[in-house]
Structure 1
């Protein structure tokens, strides 16, 4: 995997988590509960990746 910066994965995961958090706010304001569930799942997945890559025992 030469040429790929490993730091980009957790940075991208934090960015996706931030976008999903803002999407939850938008869907809440528009009263779209089914879309909120999807955003929560994606937020949890992105947070898990960011935590796993930035954490003390990063994989």
Structure 2
């Protein structure tokens, strides 16, 4: 039976690159689960702009 691994991450490039590396090194089936771990509490206007793609 193939081992399965779930890698929870914030979506950064470093972790995204490691997903295929872990799969290759271990032979496991690796699933990435991205989660927004934002530490910032934006005001409502900024949240709306961010959802619409207008904020960075």
**Which bin holds the TM-score, normalised by the shorter protein?**
0.3 to 0.5
More strand by share: 2
Q: Please tell me whether Structure 1 or Structure 2 has the larger radius of gyration of its CA atoms.
A: 2
Output the TM-score relative to the length of structure 2: 0.35
More helix by share: 1
Structure with the larger RCO, 1 or 2 (CA within 8 Å, 6+ apart):
1
Output the TM-score relative to the length of structure 1: 0.34
